[in-house]
């Protein structure tokens, strides 16, 4: 291997116009390869004493929840371009792992994702978009690792309790069915399965899950637990030999780069199975760069998974813009390749799961860190980060202050790496725009020192990858269309005979699940509708509302008219609404304010200032019953609103002072079946 590397080096050197240190100016080549520099830290990279832990990859989460909701609505070629930046090897983030939410019908941060089993006798493996996303990831990288994890569960599993462990056999069957459905209907092999995101684990359930997986011939599927804190799962494993045996990976969330003694004593793989969740600007990029190195150095974590994959949900929902990139405008085609994409590339494009960390990794003397990995075949990748405290604060946990200053670092390659003649160099500089570079390829380092030494000058907020691999690439496409607000006039009649996805474009369910529906016995105008399909509250992960609701549109909408045909299916107690200026969603949906126009099957109507119905602006009686179509219209203009039923004024000039703007929405009074058709919004700019 060394001989082939040497020959390749000679060929490239013959073509080079300048040596690595020959270019003037740090922005062009931020390397000083002269051994005469002022003394600094000295670091040895050696495999003589063996290797460290096996590297399992870098990944991201789609879900937890509904974080990829708007991505599916992008038109080509933009949707494929976004997917390439995420998954295509040697192009962008080139992710090794995709972790998806097993939809459970409940609110899981920014929306709900539909379950494959809404009801006990119901199975449908084409709902939602995670199946599609996993297939698109596999299409680009057949070796990508797939992970599934529930946040919420359909209500029938709880048998009246908000608890998934009432019948552990039934819950295990539900999860195993999802794994089997992935294979049977989509030819997807799920590699890892989790327990219950950031909630209580049940030891008996974990053992039952392993037993049922094995019974179905799924011995290859590994279990991660508990996707929460390091404890009490680590101590529980040390006290229970059977539990220790069935868990393959201990996954912790937002560990702050540190693990605990008990976790290490289990001798299991340790993962940061959810991390980051930080705005994808330069600070978020610095956060990501720092933890990708230091999760292993400080905590021996061999995988780090970002929440979330792509910020493809309405920006004003919780944790807006916290994806590796941003794609929240399918109506315009606009997307943004954010800095965390290129931070990822520094590791992902030059390593693969199955490589090993060197034991000789650690912190730099004047701040920052370095790791090195090898494939055991002569290739070596070194990643060096010098992220400052200011430019690397993650949203959680608290980051104690530390200092990073300019320094000179000398690295010595020993052991099987001592004969490496040349290292390719990729460089990122965060901070001031005038000095900013993202994943820039520099001239290679020629290791001329007979002792395998080379020296770097390092400043704060830099990231270097030095590697024997020559396959790295900063992928690009022509700029996407310019950003545009949501169309002020929007219509959807839901007349889709064979929908590719179960949800209508741009609607973002916040409680409940709204799906395309065909009225088989209605040959008329309302044969194709949008239907709220949950008749039972799910086992929740967050504080779902008591009502179902799906939002749509521009959060800045203030003056608008919303019109929709509605159909109450529940006799006597059923109810539906249309709404405008809805100001909250996601995990805050229970406290959403807005203007809500309700009609009920008992012949009443109501106008409220909140989804909970506590703030009543107006109410009255009206000729309404279940099992009949009605057309509702709500107009909000300034501080007043009015509404019509079937084109006739029902109430006018009702005063509303708050909020001043928000989304449009549709929904139901409770978890009940109801249908919506011919939705239309006309907003005034």
* Widest distance between CA atoms in the chain: 92
The pLDDT of residue 19:
32
3-state class (DSSP) for residue 40: coil
As given in the structure block, the two tokens for residue 283 are 């600070």
Non-local CB neighbours of 139 within 8 Å, separated by 6+ positions = none
- Number of H-type helices and E-type strands within the chain: 10, 37
Question: Has residue 398 got a pLDDT over 50?
Answer: yes
Contact of 384 with 297, CB cutoff 8 Å: no
- Residue carrying structure tokens 């989804």: 611
Contact of 2 with 420, CB cutoff 8 Å: yes
Question: Has residue 6 got a pLDDT over 60?
Answer: no
Q: What number of other Cβ atoms are within 10 A of residue 370's Cβ?
A: 26
Question: Which helix (H) or strand (E) segment is 345 a member of?
Answer: helix 339-348
Contact of 306 with 59, CB cutoff 8 Å: yes
Please confirm, yes or no, whether 198 is among the known catalytic residues.
yes
Over residues 341-367, the pLDDT tens digits come to 999 999 999 999 999 999 999 999 999
Annotated catalytic residue: which of 198, 365, 459, 682?
A: 198
Annotated catalytic residue: which of 101, 136, 274, 503?
A: 274
What pLDDT band is residue 35 in, cutting at 50, 70 and 90? very low
Lowest mean pLDDT among 77-81, 330-334, 432-436, 588-592: 432-436
Non-local CB neighbours of 524 within 8 Å, separated by 6+ positions = none
| CA 329 vs CA 56, 314, 368, 506, 553: distances in Å | 33, 9, 37, 9, 11
The pLDDT of residue 17:
29
Over residues 417-446, the pLDDT tens digits come to 999 999 999 999 998 887 899 999 999 999
Q: What is the mean pLDDT of the chain?
A: 94
Q: At what angle do helices 282-299 and 339-348 cross, to 10 degrees?
A: 30
What pLDDT band is residue 36 in, cutting at 50, 70 and 90? very low
The C-alpha atoms of residue 428 and residue 499 are separated, in whole angstroms, by: 43
The pLDDT of residue 39:
52
Over residues 62-79, the pLDDT tens digits come to 999 999 999 999 999 999
The DSSP call for residue 62 is E
The C-alpha atoms of residue 91 and residue 329 are separated, in whole angstroms, by: 23
Please report how many Cα atoms fall inside a 13 Å half-sphere around the Cα of residue 653, on the Cβ side: 0
The DSSP call for residue 51 is E
What pLDDT band is residue 295 in, cutting at 50, 70 and 90? very high
The C-alpha atoms of residue 413 and residue 416 are separated, in whole angstroms, by: 8
As given in the structure block, the two tokens for residue 344 are 């990822």
Compute CA 197 distance to the chain's CA centroid, rounded to the nearest angstrom: 14
The pLDDT of residue 31:
43
pLDDT (mean) for 458-474 = 98
pLDDT (mean) for 91-107 = 98
The pLDDT of residue 434:
75
Over residues 498-518, the pLDDT tens digits come to 999 999 999 999 999 999 999
Please confirm, yes or no, whether 274 is among the known catalytic residues.
yes
The C-alpha atoms of residue 385 and residue 281 are separated, in whole angstroms, by: 17
Contact of 612 with 545, CB cutoff 8 Å: yes
């Amino acid at each position: 291997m060394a001989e082939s590397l040497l020959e390749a080096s000679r060929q490239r050197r013959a073509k080079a116009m300048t040596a690595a240190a020959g270019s003037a100016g740090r922005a062009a080549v931020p390397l000083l390869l002269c051994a005469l520099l002022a003394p600094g830290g000295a670091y040895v990279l050696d495999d003589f004493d063996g290797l460290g832990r096996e590297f399992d990859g870098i990944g991201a989460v789609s879900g937890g929840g509904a974080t990829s909701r708007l991505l599916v609505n992008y038109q080509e070629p933009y949707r494929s371009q976004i997917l390439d930046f995420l998954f295509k090897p040697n192009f962008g983030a080139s992710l090794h792992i995709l972790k998806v939410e097993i939809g459970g019908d409940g609110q899981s941060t920014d929306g709900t994702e539909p379950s494959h089993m809404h009801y006990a006798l119901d199975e449908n493996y084409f709902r939602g978009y995670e199946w599609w996303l996993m297939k698109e990831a596999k299409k680009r990288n057949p070796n990508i690792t797939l992970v599934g994890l529930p946040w919420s569960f359909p209500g029938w599993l709880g048998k009246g309790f908000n608890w998934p462990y009432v019948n552990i056999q039934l819950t295990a069957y539900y999860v195993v069915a999802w794994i089997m459905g992935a294979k049977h209907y989509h030819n997807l092999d799920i590699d890892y399965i989790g327990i219950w995101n950031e909630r209580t684990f049940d030891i008996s359930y974990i053992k039952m899950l392993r037993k049922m997986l094995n019974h179905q011939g799924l011995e290859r599927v590994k279990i991660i637990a508990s996707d929460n804190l390091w404890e009490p799962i680590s101590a529980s494993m040390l006290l229970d030999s059977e539990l220790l045996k069935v868990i393959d990976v201990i996954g912790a969330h937002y560990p702050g780069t540190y693990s605990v003694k008990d976790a290490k004593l289990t001798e299991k793989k340790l993962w940061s199975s959810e991390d980051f969740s930080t705005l994808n600007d330069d600070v978020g990029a610095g956060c990501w760069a720092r933890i990708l190195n230091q999760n292993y150095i400080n905590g021996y974590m061999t995988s780090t998974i970002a929440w979330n994959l792509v910020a493809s949900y309405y920006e004003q929902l919780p944790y807006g813009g916290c994806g590796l990139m941003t794609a929240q405008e399918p109506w315009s085609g606009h997307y943004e390749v954010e800095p965390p994409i290129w931070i990822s590339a520094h590791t992902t494009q030059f390593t693969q799961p199955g490589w090993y960390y060197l034991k000789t990794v650690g912190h730099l003397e004047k701040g920052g860190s370095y790791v090195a990995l090898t494939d055991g075949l002569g290739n070596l990748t070194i990643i060096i980060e010098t992220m400052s405290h200011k430019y690397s604060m993650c949203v959680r946990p608290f980051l104690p202050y530390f200092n990073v200053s300019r320094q000179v670092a000398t690295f010595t390659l020993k052991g099987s790496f001592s004969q490496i003649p040349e290292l390719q160099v990729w460089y990122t500089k965060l901070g001031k725009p005038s000095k900013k570079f993202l994943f820039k390829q520099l001239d290679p380092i020629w290791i001329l020192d007979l002792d395998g030494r080379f020296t770097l000058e390092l400043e704060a907020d830099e990231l270097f990858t030095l590697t024997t691999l020559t396959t790295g690439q900063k992928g690009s496409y022509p700029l996407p269309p310019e950003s545009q607000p949501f169309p002020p006039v929007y219509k959807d009649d839901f007349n889709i005979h064979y929908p590719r996805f179960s949800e209508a474009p741009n609607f973002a369910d916040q409680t409940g699940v709204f799906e395309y529906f065909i009225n088989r016995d209605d040959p008329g105008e309302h044969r194709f509708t949008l239907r709220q399909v949950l008749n039972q509250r799910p086992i929740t992960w967050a504080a779902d509302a008591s009502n179902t609701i799906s939002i749509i549109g521009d959060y800045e909408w203030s003056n608008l008219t919303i019109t929709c045909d509605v159909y109450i299916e529940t006799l006597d107690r059923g109810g539906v609404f249309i709404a405008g200026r809805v100001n909250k969603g996601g995990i805050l949906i229970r406290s959403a304010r807005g203007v809500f126009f309700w009609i009920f099957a008992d012949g009443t109507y109501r106008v409220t200032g909140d989804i909970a119905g506590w703030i009543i602006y107006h109410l009255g009686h009206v000729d309404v019953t279940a099992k009949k179509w009605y057309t509702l219209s709500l107009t909000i203009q300034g501080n007043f609103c009015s509404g019509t039923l079937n084109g006739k004024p029902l109430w006018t000039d009702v005063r509303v002072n708050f909020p001043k703007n928000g989304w449009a929405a549709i929904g139901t009074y409770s978890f009940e079946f109801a249908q919506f058709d011919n939705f239309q919004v006309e907003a005034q700019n």
